[in-house]
Structure 1
Amino acid sequence: MSLHARSDRSIWAQREERGNFAALRLMTRISLRLGRPLGRVLLRAIVLYFLFLAPAARRASRTYLTRVLGRRARWRDVYRHLFVFGTTIHDRVYLLNERFDLFDIRVHGGELVDAALSGGRGAMLIGAHFGSFEVLRTIGRTRPNLRVAIMMYEENARNVNAALATVNPAVKQDVISLGRPEAMLEAREYLDGGAMIGMLADRTLRQDGGDTLLPLEFLGAPVGFPLGPMRMAAMLRRPVIFLTGVYRGGNRYDVHFEALADFSDTARAQRSEQVEAAVRRYAALLERHCRSAPYNWFNFFDFWRESEKTETTGSAASVHAQRAASPPSRTFDA
């Protein structure tokens, strides 16, 4: 995968999935047998291990936290950041095994989901690497007709399905693999059946080296946000709902659904303008949640420096933004 040139790949594109499924299986067994409190004791030891032996993630965490906290981030801030991330991963074990009784999950804006389901045309759920996406499963208990398909590239889909099978073999995830001509048709079929399409839009991981970025200010510095997810929603002519599952500490999560955009009646001539407006609102919502719950954003790389690199490789974000009306051959990596 690359953004522009092979030598300027995104850090996240350079890193292959290195999940140790044997360790994940062991952690799953320990967690289910010992319970969440004792499992979290083991988690603290794991977090300390990565705090000292993952310098790149540690530096990136400190860079982000210094921006969002408005002061120099300390070691304990970085530890807390890694611990919140580890907690959301650990809690997947229980959520995927339907141990919802262990959590206090509060839903805000659920009426947006109800409206989309009652309309029968589905909607796009656009999130970020923020908090937990798995808590979405809990609202399915009261909405049995809720179905969510995730859009991502095939390699990522294989890794996700392998991880899910390790935690709970009975769990099945609807995945639409990007990078194929039929992906858009499959997405439309899901939506026409009243399903939701989930995507994450805070990273740029294009496989064809020509992503389209909109330059915006985010947490006090310029950065490029991908236009692909909103452009897809506009082409599918669907409403877009912003989704976050914020970890609040202890056993509490707050799930927020917020109206982001509605492309149902967008004319082709207005598409570019409304797509850019939607990306601006997305960035503003993400920044608001980052400031409200700073330890929930899990981008463990230098988001701003990486964006600067993409803007100096001959395909600058400002140039891409001017070409927003020209659809890419592929979308983006969730």
Structure 2
Amino acid sequence: FRHFITFANSILDKFIAWIGQINYNDIDYENLSLMIDLMDRKQGALLIASHLGNVEVSRALTERRPQLKMTILAHTKNAEQFNRLLNEFSDSQNITIMQVSELTPASSIQLAEKIQAGEFVVVTGDRTPIESGDVTSSRRVCSVDFIGAKANFPQGPFLIGSILKCPVYMIFCIKFKKRYKIIFEPFASSITLPRRSREEKLQDYAQKYAARLEHYCAIAPLQWNNFFPFWNEIGHPNQSKTQ
């Protein structure tokens, strides 16, 4: 019950942040200098986010950094109407939601142009593609260690990173009492996927991301808003907590 209440509050905060009612001074920051340096150099980057906390709160950064441009990739059809609502109520052109069901040559070019213009592209790293209701599909996922068991993580963020050839960072936004904290962490100066070791490298990248997500989930477990069966092992004790 507490998890659902936290999720409901997160939805409200998401909307409040999107209409500009959460301000720069309402947030604490960790490693903000990393992002400021990128913006000062007009260096675009890929930010890997998650369903932990509320990444939309990062909109408040535009209050002090109006040059910040951020595109959040959304590929969950269930959230399409809500994302459209957010875009309709937002008066900011700095942060937008881009609905992407698959990475096509056209969308790849569009994202590359954003990076070249010094903008940030945000993609979540903890939602796997669902095929015929089977979350254990082997299509473009890596099975890695996560909170005591194997879980599938998408290869998508790392494939996008290899295409965009730009610096990659992780972004987490967690609420502590009544204040959010935005945390930036470096992930890779660039993502390369050599043909001979492609799968091995993808596995390493996915495990690295999963380890950091696990770290922050331990700090704020009720803020991980992922209600899909997540672990590969049917009957695993963690499994019931996501349903």
Judge same fold: TM > 0.5, yes or no. Answer: yes
Name the residue aligned to 2:91: 170
After TM superposition, give the deviation of residue 131 of structure 1 in Å: 0.3
Partner amino acid, structure 2, of 1:198: V
- How much identity, in percent, do the aligned residues show? 28
Name the residue aligned to 1:159: 81
Partner of 2:98, secondary structure, is: strand
> Which sections of structure 2, spanning at least 5 residues, go unmatched?
235-243
Partner amino acid, structure 2, of 1:224: N
Name the residue aligned to 2:64: 142
Name the residue aligned to 1:106: 28
Partner amino acid, structure 1, of 2:58: L
Partner amino acid, structure 1, of 2:61: I
The range that moved more, 180-189 or 283-292, is 180-189
Partner of 2:128, secondary structure, is: coil
Q: Deviation per CA, 1:83-107, whole angstroms, max 9, x where unpaired?
A: 2211111123322222235973101
For the structure 1 residues 108 and 174, does the alpha-carbon distance in structure 2 shift closer, same or farther, using more than 3 Å as the test? same
After TM superposition, give the deviation of residue 157 of structure 1 in Å: 7.4
Partner amino acid, structure 2, of 1:100: I
Name the residue aligned to 1:203: 127
Instruction: Give me the whole-angstrom Cα distance separating, in 1, the residues matched to 2:196 and 2:138.
Output: 23
Match runs of 1:233-248 below 5 Å: 233-248=161-176
The range that moved more, 201-210 or 295-304, is 201-210
Name the residue aligned to 1:286: 213
Indicate yes or no: 2:127 matched with 1:219. Answer: no
For the structure 1 residues 189 and 283, does the alpha-carbon distance in structure 2 shift closer, same or farther, using more than 3 Å as the test? same
Q: Which has the higher helix share?
A: 1
Judge conservation of contact 1:204–1:211 (CA < 8 Å) in 2. Answer: no
TM-score by length of 2: 0.81
For the structure 1 residues 112 and 181, does the alpha-carbon distance in structure 2 shift closer, same or farther, using more than 3 Å as the test? same
Instruction: Give me the whole-angstrom Cα distance separating, in 2, the residues matched to 1:111 and 1:226.
Output: 29
Name the residue aligned to 1:82: 4
After TM superposition, give the deviation of residue 275 of structure 1 in Å: 3.5
Instruction: Give me the whole-angstrom Cα distance separating, in 2, the residues matched to 1:258 and 1:81.
Output: 26
- Residue 118 of structure 2: which of 187, 194, 219 is its match? 194
Name the residue aligned to 2:45: 123
For the structure 1 residues 236 and 207, does the alpha-carbon distance in structure 2 shift closer, same or farther, using more than 3 Å as the test? farther
Judge conservation of contact 2:49–2:170 (CA < 8 Å) in 1. Answer: yes
Judge conservation of contact 2:144–2:206 (CA < 8 Å) in 1. Answer: no
After TM superposition, give the deviation of residue 135 of structure 1 in Å: 0.9
After TM superposition, give the deviation of residue 174 of structure 1 in Å: 4.7
Judge conservation of contact 2:142–2:202 (CA < 8 Å) in 1. Answer: no
After TM superposition, give the deviation of residue 296 of structure 1 in Å: 1.0
Judge conservation of contact 1:216–1:223 (CA < 8 Å) in 2. Answer: yes
After TM superposition, give the deviation of residue 259 of structure 1 in Å: 0.8
For the structure 1 residues 186 and 271, does the alpha-carbon distance in structure 2 shift closer, same or farther, using more than 3 Å as the test? farther
The range that moved more, 187-196 or 111-120, is 111-120
For the structure 1 residues 235 and 276, does the alpha-carbon distance in structure 2 shift closer, same or farther, using more than 3 Å as the test? farther
Name the residue aligned to 1:299: 226
Q: Which has the higher strand share?
A: 2
Judge conservation of contact 1:234–1:275 (CA < 8 Å) in 2. Answer: no
Instruction: Give me the whole-angstrom Cα distance separating, in 1, the residues matched to 2:216 and 2:14.
Output: 21
Indicate yes or no: 2:110 matched with 1:183. Answer: no
Instruction: Give me the whole-angstrom Cα distance separating, in 1, the residues matched to 2:167 and 2:196.
Output: 15
Judge conservation of contact 1:103–1:253 (CA < 8 Å) in 2. Answer: no
Partner amino acid, structure 2, of 1:233: G
- Residue 254 of structure 1: which of 164, 168, 181 is its match? 181
Judge conservation of contact 1:151–1:178 (CA < 8 Å) in 2. Answer: no
What is the root-mean-square deviation in Å for CA atoms of aligned residues?
Answer: 2.7
Instruction: Give me the whole-angstrom Cα distance separating, in 2, the residues matched to 1:154 and 1:296.
Output: 19
Judge conservation of contact 1:105–1:253 (CA < 8 Å) in 2. Answer: yes
For the structure 1 residues 103 and 270, does the alpha-carbon distance in structure 2 shift closer, same or farther, using more than 3 Å as the test? farther
Partner of 2:105, secondary structure, is: coil
Judge conservation of contact 1:103–1:252 (CA < 8 Å) in 2. Answer: no
After TM superposition, give the deviation of residue 252 of structure 1 in Å: 0.8
Judge conservation of contact 2:83–2:97 (CA < 8 Å) in 1. Answer: no
After TM superposition, give the deviation of residue 229 of structure 1 in Å: 1.1
Judge conservation of contact 1:123–1:195 (CA < 8 Å) in 2. Answer: yes
Partner amino acid, structure 2, of 1:218: F
